[in-house]
Every structure is written in C-alpha cells, then in structure tokens.
Amino acid sequence: MHPVLRTVLQRLGLGVLTLLAVSVIIFSSLELLPGGFAEAILGQSATPETVAAFNKSLGLDRPATTRYVEWVTGVFTGDLGKSFAGAGGWRSDNVRTVTSIIGPRLYNTFFLAALTAIIAVPIALALGLLTALYRNSWFDRVCNALTLTTIASPEFFVAYILMFFFAVKLKIFYPLSTVNADTPFLEHVSRAMLPAITLTLVIIAHMMRMTRASIIALLSSPYIEMAKLKGLTGRQVILNHALPNAWAPIATVIAFNLAYLVVGVVVVEVVFVYPGIGQLMVDSVSSRDMPVAQACALIFAATYILLNLLADIVAIVTNPRLLHPK
C-alpha cells in the first residue's frame, strides 16, 4: 500500500474514533442541561405526572445509554432522528425529521463559509507574502498592528461595529441577513456580505500572520541563501523557492480557519439573525429540542475533523518528508 494512502486511512480511522468520543460528550452534555422539552412546552405549572406522561410519549423515560446507542446507530445509517419541536413535533401526525430541518440551514452556513473563504483566503495569502517580502517596513508594521487589533476584538463587537457603520449609517448592506429558500442568489450574497466581512476580519489575521511566519522561517534556510547569492530578487526567492515549501504549514492554517468558519459562525449568525446551523443550534438548545441540537453539534465536530484530515493530506502530499519523521 502506498505510504500516503496508508497514512490517510490511519488518520480517517482516528477521525472516526474521535467523532465517536465527541458524540458521547455531546450527548452527555445535553443530557445534563437543566429542564427539558416537556418543561419548555408545558410550562412551570405542569404537574409531575403530566411531565412524566409527556416524556414517555417522546421516549425520554428510557435509560440514557439506550437512547445514546439508538442515536449513534441511526447516525451511522443516515437517520438523525426526529425533532421534538419541528412543527408540533410531539404529535405523531406532524413530526418533522431532523434532516429536513437541518438541510436548508446547513446550506446557508456553507454558503456563508464559502463566501467568506473566497474573500479571506486570497487576501490573507497576499498580505502574508507582502509582509514577509517587506519585513520590518512601515507596511509590515501597519498590517501587524491591524491584525493584532482584529484578533483581540470579540466577534460580536466587530459585527456590531460593522453593522452600525455599513448598515445603519452608510446603508450599503442589510443590517439583518434574513434569507430563505426562495431568495435569489445575488440577493443571498448581498444579505450575507456583512456576516462574511465580519468573519473575514476575524480569520484573515490568523492566516496572514501564519503565512508571514512560515515564509520568514524558510528565508533563513541554506537553499534560500544560495538563491540570493545567485542574484535572484526578493520576489523571485519567495515565489519560486520559499512558497512551494511553505504550502504545508499554510494549508494547515487555511484548513483550521475554514473549520472555524463552519464551527465558529454561531455568534455571527445570532448577531445578524442569519438562518444557519449555528442559529438553529442555539434555538434548539433554548427550546430543549435535543435531537436537533445533537445533530448540529455532531455536524460541527465532523466538519472540523474532516478539514483537519484534509490539511494533513495536503501537508503530506506537498512535503513527503512528513511520512518519515525520523
């Protein structure tokens, strides 16, 4: 078996085990939350007998281990379960599946993540290369100061500042990013632009600084010194010699930030009322709709694991020496 394929299979098996461990944490954490769906629906005036009967109709009277095994088995067969709430989910004639609820929201989240990546990745790589090329110049210092400022600022603070200036004052973008299945593509882009800019400002700093650090670290290598002695310009040295060997750490940084785009959009979606999976998870936890909350958390975990696996594959392909650490 090819070493790269063997390594990929090993990482994939480790990812499945990690996802299984995460599923235990997700299920246990949601089980430990105070209250439940019955209390959320029936209110505080409900008698214990009514709550018990309600939980029995939902199957919540069974042991937690039994419900966990059923949930995990269903996930591996493609069945994420049925929503407690949905459209009156406790009535058997009006139950909605978790998949039908998550599907449109998942598309919206990936749409926002893709839009952000299209904006952020090229800008971050370009700024990282330029700051490495003109290291210690005024341009480098200004970029580092601005990126440190965005890293230190909370997401919701950046979101509200952008909303105030670009939506309230200048009226360039929509203040709320409410979209649905019938929203045209260009309007969807327009409504998602302000959340995308917010996420871009948050992640571009990490990608730019890591790209800059990777390039600068390689510039001290002997083969870079030889390229300089040959009379090559700084741009030629970076583009033709340093950058090809920096793809492994850069790909890892990009993958981590793309994982953050999908996993860390919760705050931004809540601020802009964007109907993504992050907003759905917050709503489902508030209403104690556990099947939906569990599915959302598991999708976040699976996305993060898959993107990290992709980063490992890119790093190994671009730098085969990682297969032989000794």
pLDDT in tens, the chain (326 residues): 677 777 778 888 888 888 889 889 988 888 887 777 777 777 767 777 787 887 787 777 788 888 888 888 888 888 888 887 644 444 545 567 888 888 889 899 889 988 998 998 899 888 888 888 788 888 888 988 888 888 788 888 888 899 999 988 888 888 888 888 888 999 899 999 999 998 888 888 888 888 888 778 777 778 887 887 888 877 777 777 777 777 777 777 777 777 777 777 888 888 898 988 888 888 888 888 888 888 888 888 888 888 888 877 777 776 666 666 55
112, with CB counted inside 10 A (0-12, 13-18, 19+), is buried
Indicate whether 292 and 208 sit together in one domain: yes
Indicate whether 123 and 35 sit together in one domain: no
Indicate whether 168 and 47 sit together in one domain: no
Q: The CATH number of the domain where 262 resides is what?
A: 1.10.3720.10
Residue 57 in any domain: the answer is yes
**Taking the C-alpha atoms of 105, 120, 213 and 227 in order, what is their torsion angle to the nearest 10 degrees?**
130
Residue 88 in any domain: the answer is no
Question: Count of domains in the chain?
Answer: 2
pLDDT digits (tens, 9 = 90+) for 259-314: 777 777 888 888 898 988 888 888 888 888 888 888 888 888 888 888 888 877 77
* Token code pair at residue 275: 């109907």
Indicate whether 51 and 153 sit together in one domain: no
Q: What's the rounded Cα separation, in Å, for the pair 240 and 19?
A: 39
Contacts 24+ apart (CB under 8 A), 167-174: 167/194
Residue 91 in any domain: the answer is no
Residue 85 in any domain: the answer is no
Q: Which domain holds residue 72?
A: 3-80
